[in-house]
C-alpha cells in the first residue's frame, strides 16, 4: 500500500523538521511514499526516492495557506485518479484532509501538534472538530498532556508519539 503525506505549506518550524525526519526515515525503510505540497523549493530536504508532488514552478510557494491547500487538493485529486489504494498521513489542514478522504473513501491518519484551546474556541469549530475526529484511523499527538486534552474534549482515542530526534 502507498502512503501519501499531505502538507500543503512547508514552512521553517518544528513540524517541518519532524516532517523531513519522518519522511526520510520511511523512505529508508523502502516504503512507497509520496508527498503533496505547494512548496516545490523544499524538495531538496527530502530523500531522492520520495515521490515529491508539487507545482512545476515556485508560483504557489508565496501564496497563503488557504490557497496552497486548495492547490494541494487539486494535486491530491489527480493522485487519487491514478492511485486508488493509498493511506493519507495529514501533517496540516487536517479538517480539510479528513473531509476529502471521507468523500473519496480513503483512510487517513492525522498528526496534530497544537492544543485544542487555540483552534476549538467557538461552538461551530468545536462541533466540526468533534464530528471530523471520528473519521481518521488514528490521530497522532506529540505529548501526553495534549493527548489527555484532545481525548477528553473530543471523546476520541489519540495516540502519543513523541517527535523524533535528529541524531
Model confidence pLDDT, tens digit, residues 26-68:
999 999 999 999 999 999 999 999 999 999 998 999 999 999 9
What is the pLDDT, as a whole number, of residue 157?
92
Name the helix (H) or strand (E) containing 130. helix 123-132
User: Counting Cβ atoms within 10 Å, is residue 165 exposed (0-12), middle (13-18) or buried (19+)?
Assistant: exposed
pLDDT in tens, 63-114: 999 999 999 999 999 999 999 889 999 988 788 899 999 999 999 999 987 7
Q: Taking the alpha carbons of 99, 100, 104, 108 in that order, is the dihedral positive or negative?
A: negative
**CB-CB contact of 65 with 73 (8 Å):** no
Amino acid at each position: 500500500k502507498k502512503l501519501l503525506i499531505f502538507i500543503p505549506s512547508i514552512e521553517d518550524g518544528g513540524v517541518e523538521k519532524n516532517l523531513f525526519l519522518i519522511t526520510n526515515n520511511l523512505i529508508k525503510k523502502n516504503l512507497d511514499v509520496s508527498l503533496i505540497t505547494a512548496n516545490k523549493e523544499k524538495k531538496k530536504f527530502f530523500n531522492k526516492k520520495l515521490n515529491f508532488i508539487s507545482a512545476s514552478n515556485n508560483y504557489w510557494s508565496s501564496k497563503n495557506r488557504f490557497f496552497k491547500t486548495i492547490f494541494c487538493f487539486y494535486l491530491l485529486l489527480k493522485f487519487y485518479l491514478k492511485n486508488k489504494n493509498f493511506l493519507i498521513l495529514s501533517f496540516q489542514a487536517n479538517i480539510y484532509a479528513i473531509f476529502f478522504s471521507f468523500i473519496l473513501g480513503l483512510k487517513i491518519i492525522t498528526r496534530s501538534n497544537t492544543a485544542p484551546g487555540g483552534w476549538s474556541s467557538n461552538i461551530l469549530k468545536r462541533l466540526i472538530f468533534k464530528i471530523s475526529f471520528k473519521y481518521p484511523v488514528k490521530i497522532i499527538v506529540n505529548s501526553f498532556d495534549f493527548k489527555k486534552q484532545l481525548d477528553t474534549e473530543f471523546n476520541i482515542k489519540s495516540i502519543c508519539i513523541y517527535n523524533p530526534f535528529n541524531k
